[in-house]
Amino acid sequence: MTAELGLAALWLAAALALLQLMAGALALTARGSALGGIVRPVAVVQGLLALIAFVALICLFAVTDLSVKLVALNSHSMKPLVFKIAGAWGNHEGSMLLWVTVMGLAGGIVALVERRLPERTMLATLAGQAFVSLGFYAFLLIASNPFERLDPAPLEGNGLNPLLQDLGLAFHPPTLYLGYVGLSIAFSFAIGALVTREVGPAFARAMRPWVLGAWIFLTLGITAGSYWAYYELGWGGWWFWDPVENASLMPWLAATALLHSAGVLAARNALRAWTVMLGVVAFSMSMVGTFLVRSGILTSVHAFAVDPERGSFILALLAINIGGALTLFGLRASTVTEGERFAVVSREGALVINNVLLCAILGIVLFGTLYPLVAEAMGAKVSVGPPYFNPMGALFFVPMLLVLAVGPLLRWRRDSVERFGKRLLIPALVTGFAAVAALVVGGIALLPFLGLVLGLGLAVASVLPLRDRNLRRTPLPIWGMVLAHFGVAVALLGMASESAWSVERLVALRAGESTSVGPWRVRLADVEPVAGPNWTALEGKLEVRYGGGAEQVLRPQARSFWTPPQQTSESALLTRWNGQLYAVLGEQASGDRWQVRLWWKPFVTLIWLGGILIALGGVLAVIGHVASDLRRIVARGKIAYRRERQGR
Amino acid sequence: MAAIKAKHQRLVLLVVALVVVLSAGILAAWALKSQASYFYVPSDIVAVPPVATRTVRLGGMVEKGSLKTAPDGVTIHFVVGDGKARVAVEFAGIVPSLFVEGSGVVAEGRMRPDGVFNADNLLAKHDENYVPREMQQMTKDQAKKVVAETQ
């Protein structure tokens, strides 16, 4: 019953999306303007129906209704409840349903609250949103119906990939999707603005909280995903340049650029066409990411099922949406009048350089991700990894860091090198000292060296915009900017430190034997069998000491799951303020010895702390922008009210 | 810098952006040509061995009876074959759980001058849903022959 309810809600939502598209488009013409009134309510109801469908699917997973094919294929009655629920989006169909739900809800919220834009632009925006949604509804209903029944129902489900049976999964995909799909709003706003030729500061202000919101979730999603890969995969790395990771990085890069150019457009009415273009590009990157991850052309823990039909479907959606938007842009770009001018040495100038460099990095990542696919189509098997991405990315990332340090200190419109040069003295000195110190210590490779040195300089430079300011009256978005930029420096320091000073030890130990890694003494006390709800495991008991400190215990496991039968290794982590000890238990070697792999990673946690700070900066900026918008609306309302009373 | 005519600002911006993005593209293309890690099967890698500094992937079947653990308990030696050629592989680390003799493996690492492939990383089949892409290809083309040869 629940499954049928969900399916019905999904069909209805799709029908409403069609109605929203038709009504919105017709209302733009002279004859159909009467239809304009229904577009907003339809968008809201469409979002709610998608939500009902998604909740229905969660219910089916929570009670393990095995007569539903998706549940039978991906769940198991013995799984803990939280993983049953998380399993609802731990598969292809469920994750696509989550996608349309987020998309519908985002459209609904925009329809409900956004009142600053001209009504015609709003209609075009909502019609655009409906158009994109409709494609994904069709994809769900035709090629990946999550509510399909199975007759007869099996007695037990297939279970969920054990790698995904982790609390990170309950958090990572929804977060990332909120980011991915939140960018669809920026895309639709860009379409709306192009169609109605209303590209201006109002458009940028309306779009900005959405871009910021999506960007916050993307940042958190990437951060969480990186940490998940770090401790769950047991390889001790935090970023692999895996295509699925790149798929989340590319929209983030585009959204970061969009965020900054929307700031210029909102404040200075410049970079108009460029901002619209980035609005289109950002969501296009989300869709490219979805195509890469969901079409089955890549194999990874994210590619749930290989089905060529689905791949072609997503590719078609991609071509229609991106191609259509770019065509519209090509047709209308010439009508977007040029914005305000500015000197090269100015805040705008720095932001333009930042944007261009971000786009260059985006291009590098996109190129490196797609190249193996293209090469394979031409018959060569190639894989592209860190030897390509690290130096190529750094080539553009390093100048971008310099601009990042300088840009916020510049004035809008026009500035002089003499004026801001003095302010850069302190960070320049810090950078110089750090460089000398790092050279004296020695033995650091080029990239970590640059990371350490620039990270320290940037950490100092990022707080300089607060100098000469009354801290109490500093607007929240400025605090947000400072915090986010500081977060970049923190993350960078973590990456550089991890890369420069990690120590690894791989040994086979008998129970009772000891080894050392970095400042740690590690003794393998024992290896014992343990059991969980749907797995058994061998658990190593490692007694560890930092320097001469107190003894602590780490318990890495080698787990064997029953359904599906699969083995995973559960790493054990010990976090100190200055780094993490990472332990993995391997196989039994000859002579009652156990393989133990240990890493000491100084300051590695800064990587994710930096990610969180960046996201927090975004949160402050959103709160600041929304609060000032609200104040403006309230003030306008008061004035109108007063006028009305005086009029009487 | 104010010498740039204000009239042409948009054009200048466009040109700068194009130049940077294009140079990024050209650099990327050059780097990909020289640094992409290529996939080899044993017969290819024996015929034309890659230089020792270059990271490549080697895919094939782990020969039965070839797997040996060194006295340190963590270094393993095995032979990867494709029916035409055999390559000795050395790997230090924790092997993936489904890495067994007689099944496929993709090893990532460098070919040493002494003809031993030094693997940093082993990609084995994790489960039905996760097969390294190269291996899917390989099993289609060669699996039958390879299995027949190695058994």
Output the CA–CA distances (angstroms, integers) from residue A364 to A61, A352, A357, B55, in the order listed: 40, 18, 11, 20
Residues B30 and B51 occupy one common structural domain: no
Q: State residue B40's pLDDT score.
A: 81
Nearest Cα of chain B lies from the Cα of A89 at a distance, in angstroms, of: 17
pLDDT band per the 50, 70, 90 thresholds, residue A72: confident
The per-residue pLDDT for range B109-118, each reduced to its tens digit, is 888 988 899 9
Residues B51 and B15 occupy one common structural domain: no
Q: Does the pLDDT value for residue A344 go beyond 50?
A: yes
Q: State residue A74's pLDDT score.
A: 82
In this structure, how many other beta carbons lie within 10 angstroms of the beta carbon of residue A171? 16
On whether residue B68 sits in a domain, the answer given is yes
B125 neighbourhood in chain A, CB within 8 Å: none
Percent of chain B with pLDDT over 90: 8
Closest-approach residue (CA) in chain B for A336: B10
pLDDT band per the 50, 70, 90 thresholds, residue A250: very high
Q: Does the pLDDT value for residue B3 go beyond 60?
A: no
In what helix (H) or strand (E) does residue A517 lie, and over which residues does it extend? strand A514-517
| Total domains in the fold of chain B | 2
Q: Name the packing angle between helices A425-441 and A446-463 (round to 10°).
A: 150
Q: Does the pLDDT value for residue A461 go beyond 50?
A: yes
DSSP A71-137: HHHH--TTS-HHHHHHHTTSSHHHHHHHHHHHHHHHHHHHHHH--SS-HHHHHHHHHHHHHHHHHHH
Round to whole Å and give the CA distance between A458 and A286: 29
B138 neighbourhood in chain A, CB within 8 Å: none
Q: Residues of B comprising the binding site for heme?
A: 126, 130
Asked if B120 is an interface residue toward chain A (Cβ–Cβ < 8 A), one would say no
Residues B23 and B72 occupy one common structural domain: no
Q: What is the mean pLDDT of residues A443-462?
A: 92
B17 neighbourhood in chain A, CB within 8 Å: 352, 355-356, 359
A599 neighbourhood in chain B, CB within 8 Å: none
Residue with the bigger pLDDT between A18 and A420: it is: A18
Q: Cis peptide leading into A564, omega within 30 of 0?
A: yes
Measure the CA dihedral A270/A276/A278/A281, to 10°. Answer: -170
The per-residue pLDDT for range A345-373, each reduced to its tens digit, is 888 889 999 999 999 999 999 999 888 88
**Are B72 and A597 inside 8 Å of each other by CB?**
no
Measure the CA dihedral B85/B88/B91/B94, to 10°. Answer: 60
Residues B68 and B121 occupy one common structural domain: yes
In what helix (H) or strand (E) does residue A251 lie, and over which residues does it extend? helix A243-268
Q: Does the pLDDT value for residue B148 go beyond 50?
A: no
pLDDT band per the 50, 70, 90 thresholds, residue A59: very high
DSSP chain B: -TTS-GGGHHHHHHHHHHHHHHHHHHHHHHHHHHHPEEEE-HHHHHHSPPPTTS-EEEEEEEPTT--EE-TTSSEEEEEEE-SS-EEEEEEESPPPTT--TTSEEEEEEEE-TTSEEEEEEEE---BTTB--HHHHHHHHHHHHHHHHHH-
Contact B128, B101 (CB under 8 A): no
Asked if A258 is an interface residue toward chain B (Cβ–Cβ < 8 A), one would say no
Residues B79 and B28 occupy one common structural domain: no
Contact A99, A54 (CB under 8 A): no
Percent of chain A with pLDDT over 90: 49
The per-residue pLDDT for range A123-179, each reduced to its tens digit, is 999 999 999 999 999 999 998 899 988 888 887 777 766 766 677 667 777 888 899
Asked if A308 is an interface residue toward chain B (Cβ–Cβ < 8 A), one would say no
Contact A103, A158 (CB under 8 A): no
What is the average pLDDT score of chain A?
Answer: 88
Residue with the bigger pLDDT between A150 and B131: it is: A150
Q: Does the pLDDT value for residue A480 go beyond 90?
A: yes
pLDDT band per the 50, 70, 90 thresholds, residue A184: very high
In A525-584, the residues whose Cβ lies within 8 Å of chain B are 564, 566-569, 584
pLDDT band per the 50, 70, 90 thresholds, residue B124: low
Burial of B47 (0-12, 13-18, 19+ CB in 10 A): exposed
In A154-183, the residues whose Cβ lies within 8 Å of chain B are 161, 163
SS3 content of chain A, % helix, strand, coil (to 5): 65, 10, 20
Burial of A59 (0-12, 13-18, 19+ CB in 10 A): middle
Q: State residue B97's pLDDT score.
A: 67
The per-residue pLDDT for range A1-11, each reduced to its tens digit, is 889 999 999 99
Asked if A391 is an interface residue toward chain B (Cβ–Cβ < 8 A), one would say yes
Q: What is the mean pLDDT of residues A253-262?
A: 95
**What is the end-to-end Cα distance of chain A in Å, rounded?**
59
DSSP A300: S
Round to whole Å and give the CA distance between A45 and A105: 9
The per-residue pLDDT for range B34-45, each reduced to its tens digit, is 765 577 888 888
Q: Does the pLDDT value for residue B138 go beyond 60?
A: no
Residues B145 and B79 occupy one common structural domain: yes
Residues B30 and B17 occupy one common structural domain: yes
Residues B43 and B31 occupy one common structural domain: no
User: Residue B43's Cα: distance from chain center in Å?
Assistant: 15
Q: State residue A402's pLDDT score.
A: 92
Nearest alpha carbon to residue B110 among B54, B49, B34, B59: B54
Q: Does the pLDDT value for residue A79 go beyond 50?
A: yes
Output the CA–CA distances (angstroms, integers) from residue A52 to A97, A100, A199, in the order listed: 11, 12, 35
**Are B73 and A391 inside 8 Å of each other by CB?**
no
pLDDT band per the 50, 70, 90 thresholds, residue B11: confident
Residues B80 and B48 occupy one common structural domain: yes
Round to whole Å and give the CA distance between B48 and B61: 19
**Are B95 and A587 inside 8 Å of each other by CB?**
yes
Residues B85 and B28 occupy one common structural domain: no
In A469-508, the residues whose Cβ lies within 8 Å of chain B are 506-508
The per-residue pLDDT for range B64-79, each reduced to its tens digit, is 888 888 888 889 999 9
**Are A367 and B39 inside 8 Å of each other by CB?**
no
Asked if A587 is an interface residue toward chain B (Cβ–Cβ < 8 A), one would say yes
Instruction: Please list, in sequence order, all residues whose beta carbon lies within 8 angstroms of the beta carbon of residue A326, skipping any fewer than 6 positions away.
Output: A280
**Are B36 and A301 inside 8 Å of each other by CB?**
no
In A329-348, the residues whose Cβ lies within 8 Å of chain B are 338, 341-345
Judged by phi (left if over 0) then psi (alpha if -120 to 50, else beta), residue B84 lies in: alpha
Round to whole Å and give the CA distance between A20 and A23: 5
Q: Residues of B comprising the binding site?
A: 126, 130
Residues B70 and B116 occupy one common structural domain: yes
| Highest-scoring range by mean pLDDT, A57-71, A633-647, B114-128 | A57-71
In this structure, how many other beta carbons lie within 10 angstroms of the beta carbon of residue A370? 15
Residues B11 and B43 occupy one common structural domain: no
Percent of chain A with pLDDT over 70: 96
Instruction: Please list, in sequence order, all residues whose beta carbon lies within 8 angstroms of the beta carbon of residue A378, skipping any fewer than 6 positions away.
Output: none
On whether residue B1 sits in a domain, the answer given is no
Q: Does the pLDDT value for residue B127 go beyond 50?
A: no
On whether residue B55 sits in a domain, the answer given is yes
On whether residue B28 sits in a domain, the answer given is yes
What domain range is B49 assigned to?
39-150
**Are B21 and A590 inside 8 Å of each other by CB?**
no
* Domain harbouring B129, CATH code: 2.40.50.140
Q: State residue A308's pLDDT score.
A: 67
Q: What is the mean pLDDT of residues A49-72?
A: 92
Nearest Cα of chain B lies from the Cα of A139 at a distance, in angstroms, of: 22
On whether residue B135 sits in a domain, the answer given is yes
